[in-house]
Amino acid sequence: MEPDYVIVGAGSGGSALAYRLTEAGHKVVIVEHGGSDAGPFIQMPAALSYPMNMGLYDWGMKSEPEPGLGNRSLVTPRGKVIGGSSSINGMVFVRGHACDFDHWAESGATGWSYADVLPYFKRMESWHGGNDGGDAAWRGQSGPLHVTRGPRENPLFGAFVEAGAQAGYPVTGDYNGRQQEGFGAMEATIWQGRRWSAANAYLRPALKGGNLTILRGLARRVVIEDGRAVGVEYERGGKVVVLRARAEVVLAASSLNTPKLLMLSGIGPAAHLAEHGIAVVADRPGVGANLQDHLEVYMQFAAKQPVTLYKYWNLWGKAAIGAQWLLTKRGLGASNQFEACGFIRSDAGVKYPDIQYHFLPIAVRYDGRAAAEGHGFQVHVGPMRSKSRGAVTLRSADPRENPVIRFNYMSHPDDWAEFRKCIRLTREIFAQPAMAGHVKHEIQPGRAVASDDEIDGFIREHAESAFHPCGTARMGRADDPMAVVDPEGRVIGVRGLRVADSSVFPRITNGNLNGPSIMTGEKMADHILGRRLPAENLEPWLNPAWGHAQR
């Protein structure tokens, strides 16, 4: 078997890429270490806390102790399953703000401005929010990825949006359309009650077409001969095999595993490779650098009225929800429960939102542990554009070992000021009449946590990753010493090798990263195929008062 293209990773970027290459008639093999996504833990949206905590589906990576967070080591789940992290994530769908992509283009990723990427966001989606406000001209109607909105039957969702409006913020009918800024309905990759992962959207249709094969195995390195990538070495059942590609090799193994594979293949900072006895093929100091993520805290409130999901947080309640979902694909099991959200600016002079809210009608952790106080609700909040940068490096030359991950969270002084604003602005929103009727008291951090030092202490102890790592093989100009790939996704200094995942992001985008990661796979496919959708110059909304007002 010698396919045209070998892709490493059956996740968000790799799945979209494979779909478009096979659709164009090419033979593609994906090398994927993980296995099947069958079963209720992945397919049932409300069960989202399970797969990301299961070794069967997760690579089990952790950060090194983070000095800015009291030397805590944070888990960084990445999907080890077909569909990749789209099979274990929270299913929240956010494109990112138009200005994010314009910033990419300005920083050297020519051809990746918002006008350039919007056609790909449209091509990839089938959007089902049209009866609920929204901006049809900005949205796609016939793509593989279904994007829906939850029913928002719980009164707390409407109360949260109304409280945002009462605090003076805009309400938006479609944060993925013309106007991101404001409060409104959250969108999700859920369709007909099931998680609509990249596996469901892209891989299954591509497998039916006959041009795609998925090989199970652990990718060890890219095989490079005379400066050209010619295949991938992988391990399966104790045997090491080389799979050759006629045209190109594409890495889409995540922003944590892609830089690891590049370095194992001799592409990376020369001195670091030498430390591990790896012969240098291309000295690219940017490989593994520029690591970014979103941090967030969970602000939790005890509820005055028993309208939260806590009443189901017991064996019988969960069993009833699960049984209803198994039989009908309806009910509470068919939602990720993130059905309302907000994007706001932290200060006057901030051009576009830099704070994101996910609202949840229960007080619970990502690992599924509920708050001790019974009925409650929470909002996940954090700054979108931290100035801190980390790195992914090799632990050893053994491909079976996870890389060393250092995010350097909260290492920039601005991070602390921005995070304090998040907490104070959130308290103000929850004090508005629409939410005040529901709030009994603040559980976490608790009203007593008020001074800068007290808030900083809370952040240090309680901030969690939102699981949005990116940036470790960033796109830029071919003459930029810290760029790893050019704007076509080609690894600089090696022929026949590209990257098509969130590693290439020059800077992290606003919101959850699954949407932009899939878009990256879609667009890189066109770069490979030598075609391009025409740019669309729709004008996004910026708050006219941004220069002098926070809201």
Alpha helices in 381-534 (DSSP H): 413-430, 433-436, 452-462, 514-529
Residue 89, marked binder = yes
Residue 468 annotated as catalytic: yes
Report the candidate in 5, 24, 44 with the shortest Cα–Cα distance to residue 206.
Answer: 24
Distance CA 376, CA 398 (A): 46
Residue in 380, 309, 305 with CA at minimum distance from that of residue 341: 380
Q: Which residue from 113, 102, 123, 121 is spatially nearest to 187, judged by alpha carbons?
A: 121
Say whether 350 counts as a known binding-site residue: no
Q: Which of 26, 294, 358, 468 is catalytic?
A: 468
For the range 455-458, what are the long-range contacts, defined as Cβ-Cβ under 8 Å and sequence gap of 24 or more?
455/419, 455/420, 455/423, 455/424, 456/416, 456/420, 458/297, 458/423
Helix or strand or coil: residue 214? Answer: strand
Would you say 250 is a known binding-site residue? no
Direct distance between the N- and C-terminal alpha carbons of the chain, in angstroms, rounded to an integer: 59
Cis bond upstream, residue 487 (ω within 30): no
For residues 543 and 19, what is the distance between their CA atoms, to the nearest angstrom? 38
User: Token pair for residue 232?
Assistant: 């991938």
Phi-psi region at 168: left, alpha or beta (left = phi > 0; alpha = psi -120 to 50): left
* Residue ranges of the binding site: 81, 89-92
Tell me the binding residues for FAD. Answer: 81, 89-92
- Which residues does the annotation mark as catalytic? 468
